[in-house]
Structure formats: C-alpha cells, structure tokens
Amino acid sequence: MRIAVLADIHGNLRALEAVRADLRDRSPDVVVNLGDTVSGPLQAAATADLLMSQPFVHIRGNHDRQLLNRPLAAMGPSDRAAREHLTSRHLEWLARLPATHRLDDEILLCHGSPGDDLEYLLEEVDGDRVRLAAAEPIRTHLGTVNASLVLCGHTHIPRSVRLPDGVCIVNPGSVGLPAYDDTRPWLHYVETGSPQARYAVVDRSPGTVRVEFIALDYDWESASREAAQANRPDWAHALATGYALRASQASAAEARP
C-alpha cells in the first residue's frame, strides 16, 4: 500500500496545490492528512473547501481542536485568523474529524502522539531548539499502541524513526509552514531551513517500509506577502525562509524606518 502523508497544511493553499500537482504523477492508494489543517493567516476557508472535496483520510490536530473549542478572545492569533474566515460547514467538518485513525490493523494515524495532540512524539525541546528524542521516551509516548507503522505530524520536522522493537514512525514534515515558535514547555524554535512544501510517500509492503520525503518549490513569496499583509511578520519570515523569526529580529525590523 502506497500512502501519501500530508500534515500541518495550516491554511496554505498554494503549498497544498503544489503537493496535489506532485501527487498526480504518483497515484498513491490513499492520501492521509494528519491535521492542523486550517490554522493561520492565509487561506483557511479555501483550504478547507478543497480538502472537504477530496477522498482523503483526515484527522484533526490540536489547532483544529482549539479553534473549535475556545472562545475567539482566548485563541492564539493563528487560530483566530482562521476561525474568522471559516463558516459553519467548515467547522462542522472539522468537528467530525477523529483525533486518531487506524488505516488498518498495523497503521495508526495521529497528530502529536497517539494519546495527546500537543505532545512531541519524535522530538524533545533542548534549550530553544528541538532535537531527535531518544528511543525510550519515544516508546513511552507511543504508549500501549499496537501498530507497526505510526504516521504523525505536529512538529513540522520530516523524520523517519525505527525503534528497537521494529515500530516505524514517520513525520512527513509540514505542507504549509516550514518553521514556527512555540512557548510550550518554554520558548523554542522549530525550523526545517527551507521554504519548500513537504510531504512523504510511504510504501508499505509485508515486512518492509519504504519512505520517500518530498520537498517542493511553490510560490512562497506570495504566501509570505499575504502573511505580512495580515500583520504576521513571524509567518512572513518563516514562509519565505524556512527559519523562525527570533524576537530580537522582530524588534530590529520594527525599529527600521
């Protein structure tokens, strides 16, 4: 079974269209979307409309949950921007998505870890960056899940890990947002170092897993301009460079005439 794995689209329709164009030549058996589908200042409603029309397997991410469950005033700016553009049919669609899904007996889809859409499964925060976690904490975060292949997103870092017990875990990276900062558990930056749109194709045959990571050019300059116009210099910088905007860079940019 050949599985195209998309995650963390974050309302970036331009990046999603680049992935869809690339998928046309690959004809996977199934396309899965691992959540954080709309949150952000770009094209939340158009992204949701497109995805709702596709025969993909979708699960929800923490941001999809947060923009449904929180009052507008309590949302972060990315969730609020998306929420303001979504209509009831988009919200009803998001509300129906499960937090995890089993593609078959062996394959589990989740956003963060199987039990927590906010938990980093393959990374740990080290100072103000993230790095690959050791096998033991990854195994702990997997919990009692019985699957030989786990597909996850959330940290936007493309990675394929095989634990000593043979379980394979693949994060395809982010379709729509190549870098971000977060304050949980403290301020840190997550960066892929390239503005390209990411996804993966996982070919699972009995006894083997072949993983192909794909990085695609698309019109990230237009996406970045759109974020800047929405007063999101952090997104504008991340989309154009694949690096996160440091607080010191942001204040320096503001001080410029």
Residue whose CB is less far from Mn ion, 108 or 204: 108
Residue 172 as a binder of Mn ion (CB under 5 A): the answer is no
DSSP 154: S
Residue whose CB is less far from Mn ion, 114 or 204: 114
Q: Contact 209/222 with Cβ under 8 angstroms?
A: no
**Span near Mn ion by CB under 5 A; candidates 29-37, 121-129, 130-138, 237-245:** 29-37
**Nearest-approach distance from CB 64 to Mn ion, in angstroms:** 9
Quote the CA–CA distance of 194 and 242 in Å, as a whole number.
Answer: 4
**Nearest-approach distance from CB 1 to Mn ion, in angstroms:** 25
Quote the CA–CA distance of 161 and 190 in Å, as a whole number.
Answer: 18
Query: 235-240, long-range: CB within 8 Å, 24+ apart, which pairs?
Result: 235/40, 235/41, 235/42, 235/78, 235/177, 237/179, 238/177, 238/178, 238/179, 238/180, 239/12, 239/177, 239/178, 239/195, 240/195
Residue whose CB is less far from Mn ion, 142 or 177: 177
Quote the CA–CA distance of 137 and 156 in Å, as a whole number.
Answer: 19
Residue whose CB is less far from Mn ion, 154 or 188: 154
Among 36, 64, 191, 234, binds Mn ion (CB under 5 A): 36
Residue 62 as a binder of Mn ion (CB under 5 A): the answer is yes
First to last CA, the chain: 56
What is the CB neighbour count within 10 angstroms for residue 228? Answer: 16
**Nearest-approach distance from CB 113 to Mn ion, in angstroms:** 11
**Nearest-approach distance from CB 62 to Mn ion, in angstroms:** 5
**Span near Mn ion by CB under 5 A; candidates 82-90, 154-162, 175-183, 205-213:** 154-162
Size of the site for Mn ion (CB under 5 A): 4
Residue whose CB is less far from Mn ion, 115 or 203: 115
Among 61, 172, 173, 178, binds Mn ion (CB under 5 A): 61
Q: How many helices (H) and strands (E) does the chain have?
A: 9, 14
Residue 154 as a binder of Mn ion (CB under 5 A): the answer is yes
| Binding stretches for Mn ion (CB under 5 A) | 36, 61-62, 154
